[in-house]
Amino acid sequence: MVEFKGSIVPLVTPFKNGAIDEAALERLIERQIEAGSHALSVGGTTGEPGALSLEEREYLIERALRFIKGRVPLLAGTGSLRLDETLRLTQAAHRMGAQGALVITPYYVKPNQEGLYRFFGQVAQSVPEMPIVLYNIPGRTGVEIKVDTVARLRRDFKNIVGLKHSSKDVEYVSELLRRVGRDFKVYCGLEALTFPMMCVGAVGTIAATANWLPKETAQMCQLTLEGRYKEALELHYYGLEANDAVFWDTNPIPLKTVLSWMGLCEKEWREPLGPTTPEVEARLRRMAESYGLIPAQGSHPPVLPDPAGKQYV
């Protein structure tokens, strides 16, 4: 089984005239690989999976694998509200060659812990040779995967290898690793907490900010994995405004707004998402200029912190 570590970038799903934009998807993937991202993910929250048909989600996974060409692993987002859909997508991702599946807690219905155990257990059983990463995001699903439930799943299904934790509760990470073993893989799902979570044992991040700052996010993760915490801390602070900006409107609206200015994809979503306000656009433009993502008028982008005077990776 592939072991996911470092910066696992949750790509936006680019659209053009209502359809998935293949050319833009390839551009986004090439940019990430060139920047040193450790792995990629499609079909997660940032990729607007709720607005995609099952056929489109399968197509997205297939195209991503084709463009990646085995250069980095792919963690395919395959979770859905329904078990049958989740099984279909996870099995399809496995057949196509994805190296792992990211499976979100079923949303809206707020299942109890026994229901979550059975749901994730059936998914794991359907692809016993494929690594499964649970996706704990209580802010969007309304329910948390309790540590006891993760411990049961870890014990009973050997291919449940990790968890993406999208919550400000860093104590959860410490308790989880204490209970299930520190070889269990935890990935940060809240951009600004990547460095703190990795300091207590997470092995990487699935951070939307890397759509903007792939090199810096990958470097911060690599430095932390190597125990070079002081250097990683500088990058942590460097990226704070970009982390915040992801959520100045509903993700991925800010991401696609800036990526469109960068010429990487269209500024296009599927309803009910829509354009942000002029005020937020103005803030995003100032942020993008400050990071050198788009040309700045009469100013210069900040220099990446490098206190040691060496290359990060």
Percent of the chain with pLDDT over 90: 93
Q: Catalytic residue among 164, 185, 215, 256, which?
A: 164
Whether residue 309 is predicted with pLDDT greater than 80 in this model: the reply is no
Domain presence at residue 69: yes
Domain range spanning residue 201? Answer: 4-289
**pLDDT tens-digit profile of 176-200?**
999 999 999 999 999 999 999 999 9
Q: Please give the mean pLDDT across all residues of the chain.
A: 94
Tokens of 23: 């050319």
Domain presence at residue 95: yes
Domain presence at residue 212: yes
The annotated binding site for pyruvate is made up of 46, 206
- Could you tell me which residue, 144 or 309, shows the higher pLDDT? 144
In this prediction, residue 1 has a pLDDT band, given cuts at 50, 70 and 90, of: confident
Whether residue 235 is predicted with pLDDT greater than 60 in this model: the reply is yes
Domain presence at residue 203: yes
Domain presence at residue 255: yes
Q: Which residues contact 36 (CB under 8 A, 6 or more apart)?
A: 214, 215, 218, 219, 222, 313
The annotated binding site is made up of 46, 206
- What is the CATH classification number for the domain harbouring 77? 3.20.20.70
Q: Is 164 a catalytic residue?
A: yes
Domain count of the fold of the chain? 1
Q: Which residues contact 73 (CB under 8 A, 6 or more apart)?
A: 2, 4, 39, 40, 99, 100
Domain presence at residue 299: no
**pLDDT tens-digit profile of 56-87?**
999 999 999 999 999 999 999 999 999 999 99
In this prediction, residue 298 has a pLDDT band, given cuts at 50, 70 and 90, of: low
Q: Is 69 a catalytic residue?
A: no
- Could you tell me which residue, 271 or 307, shows the higher pLDDT? 271
